Each structure stands twice: as C-alpha cells, then as structure tokens.
Amino acid sequence: MMNALTVEDYIKLEDTLGATTYKPLDLVIERAEGVWVYDIEGNKYLDCLSAYSSVNQGHCHPEIVEALKKQADKLTQVSRAFRNVELPLFFKELIEFAGINCVLPMNTGAEAVETAIKLARKWAYTVKGIENGKAEIIVCENNFHGRTTTVISFSSEPAYKDNFTPLTPGFKIIPYGDIEALKNAITPNTCAFLVEPIQGEGGVVIPPEGYIKEAQKICKQNNVLLMLDEIQTGLGRTGKQFAFQHEDAVPDVLIIGKSLSGGVYPVSAVLADKSIMGVFKPGEHGSTFAGNPLACAVARAAMKVLLEENLAENSAKMGAYLLEKLQNIKNLHIKQVRGRGLFIGIVLDEPARPYCEKLQQLGILCKETRSTVIRISPPLIITKDQVDFIYERMAQVF
C-alpha cells in the first residue's frame, strides 16, 4: 500500500510535473459540499471564490450531480454530426432563462468569446456591409475575456500578452465605463462592442450607473452589436440572473459559461437573436464536444437549481448584507469596498495576497485579483450565518 501523500508531496508533484501557470494557495482540496471545501488534513474552509463563479449553485449540488450521473449512464457524446434528445431541450430552457431566442453551445468561456467575435465579424461583412478584412471590435481597458491567442490580443494586461505575439488585429481598446470614449471610438468599420457589465478579474470594477443601457443606445444608433460577456457576472452572481437586468438593457449577443453547469462540467454558450445568429451556416463553426448530451443535461439541472432556489434573489439579499458589514470595517489599507450582489471587491493600497493567506488560516478561501483586490464571491446558496462567518473573519484580519 502507498503511504498517504502529505500536502508538501502534492505541491511538489504538481509544481514539478505541471506547467506553473497558476500560483495557488497551498492547500490541497479533497472534497466539497455547498459553500464548504475540505483539505486533505481535514480543515474546513468557506469558499469565497466559487471557482471564479463557476459554482454559484454550491459545490457538488446534489441535483446537478444526479443529472450528470443519470445522463452519463445513458448517453454522453454524439457530436453534432447527429442529433440528440438533450440538446433541443437545453436550447428551449436556456432561451426561456435568458430571453434571447437563439443559442450556440460551446464548452469554455474563452471559446464562447471567440465564437462571439467570429459571429460579429461575419455579421459585419454579410449584414452591415463592412469591407472584407476591415471589421473592428471595440473592447475595454482592464478587460478579461479569456486566454486564447485572439482573446489575449485585446487584453491590456502585459502579463497576458507579452511574448505571445504576433497578436490578432481588429480590436480597439477604450477606457471602461466611459461612454464618450465609446462614442468617439465608433467608425463605419465598427461591428461590435464587447464588454463585461462588471469587470471581474479586473477587480470587481462597477461602471457608472446606466453605462450598459447607454452603450446599448449608442450601439443601436450606429448599427453596432452590443456583446456582453456575462461569463462571470451572469447566473445570479450580481443579484439578478444577468447583470444587464439591473439597467433594463438587453445585449445583442450574450456570452455565458462558468455556472451554466454549476461547476460540474464545462459548458458555455452564445445567445443572440436568430437574425444575427443566422449568419452562421453549416460547416462554418463548431466544436466536437459542444452541445453534447452530458453537458446539456448538466446545464439544464444547473439552471433549474438557480431558478428553484431563487439564487439571484439570495445573492442580492446576502450581498447587500455582507457589503454593508464590510464597508463598516475601518482599516487604513482599505481604499474601497464595492460590490453588487455577492460580487464584492475589497480594494487595498497594498498587495492582497498576505491577507488571503491569513484568511485561509481562519477558514476562508479567497484569491487576490489584480494583486491589490480581494474578490469575495461565495456560492449563492450562502446563509446569513455563513455571511456572518465571513464577516467575523474579515474583521479579525483587518
């Protein structure tokens, strides 16, 4: 029998055998349930990252896991060379859920963003009438849309793009939250504006009130597609099912992922009106695993849980409660505490990592983003007592 591995053994194995593209906190997680995760030494932590908002429904939600198991016994993958019984039902339920009438399924978030870019470009040439090769997409500084070569091409973060050149052209970067900048950046060759309603990786940056609604108006006036990346902000995270609903705005193209599967399986999707999505013809886009029946069954269960457990509403309630409590913590190093729903950022004037390490010792898992911001985004099933648990430890650390 093999001796049990220690934390140090696991860390050494991971870091010597694998590419070190992440700098994780040094705990080794073995199982999780709801808001709690457990490491191999039996320590218990309240998860305030939710796998970058991919387990909004809580870890290992029994209904989602059950859907996975049931479907896995029946049919897992057929590819879209043939039809399957789960796919159209997934489409129907997602369309009802999001209020946009056509779906293109993908697997990861970055793939869905890539899909939206291709959609916008094809629309530019075949509908808007932009001269071939000239289409431009406007994006924002400090954005995060994923890690593929094209997507990092329009990142403003040097670490994401340096030495990965040559980059994909066709993007224009403007300041986030600045409507005038958007107006001025649009040219006859602009086909789309791709933006996060709240910047997640960028540090939970909330734009001025009415920004998305105003952007929608300007896009419409100029025949430009408004493409919202709600991969992190969507599915209840900010206190509404989608962040655009805070402003009574509607995107032309909606990109979702992460909690679309409750963290059980990678599932993403692009939604758009059929009149836009219709530019894609058979053979022009695809992915072997996209829309597989296992993914569809899991996503259907994940959406059902969001709705039945009123998780967006709980996110609004618990988020407001936690935000207020955190805003009352007095500490010289806290510059700002901001948030919407259970999507909260504590902005410091110094590195956040040591705070995250201290919080880990007290049973709270969070991860710094943009080095000086602590993001707090626990699963949306969190209770008031559990919010108090977070607050007490935050207060202690500060």
Q: Binding to ligand PLP (CB under 6 A): which residues in 277-336?
A: none
Q: Binding to ligand PLP (CB under 6 A): which residues in 42-61?
A: 52
Residue 359 and residue 25: Cα distance in Å, rounded?
Answer: 11
The upper half-sphere exposure of residue 91, i.e. CA atoms within 13 Å in the direction of its Cβ, equals 16
Residue 230 Cβ vs ligand PLP, minimum distance, rounded to whole Å: 7
Does 200 help bind ligand PLP (rule: CB under 6 A)?
yes
Q: Stretches 35-43, 140-148, 172-180, 291-299: which one binds ligand PLP (CB under 6 A)? A: 140-148
Residue 92 Cβ vs ligand PLP, minimum distance, rounded to whole Å: 24
Residue 396 Cβ vs ligand PLP, minimum distance, rounded to whole Å: 29
Report the residue from 153, 216, 232, 314 that binds ligand PLP according to the rule CB under 6 A: 232
Does 196 help bind ligand PLP (rule: CB under 6 A)?
yes
Does 108 help bind ligand PLP (rule: CB under 6 A)?
yes
CB nearer ligand PLP, residue 205 or residue 312: 205
Residue 232 CB partners (closer than 8 Å, separation 6+): 52, 53, 196, 200, 201, 258, 343
CB nearer ligand PLP, residue 19 or residue 81: 19
Residue whose entry in the numeric block shows the structure tokens 């991969």: 231
Residue 303 Cβ vs ligand PLP, minimum distance, rounded to whole Å: 17
Does 91 help bind ligand PLP (rule: CB under 6 A)?
no
CB nearer ligand PLP, residue 32 or residue 231: 231
Binding site for ligand PLP (CB under 6 A): 52, 108-110, 113, 144-146, 196, 200-201, 229, 231-232, 257
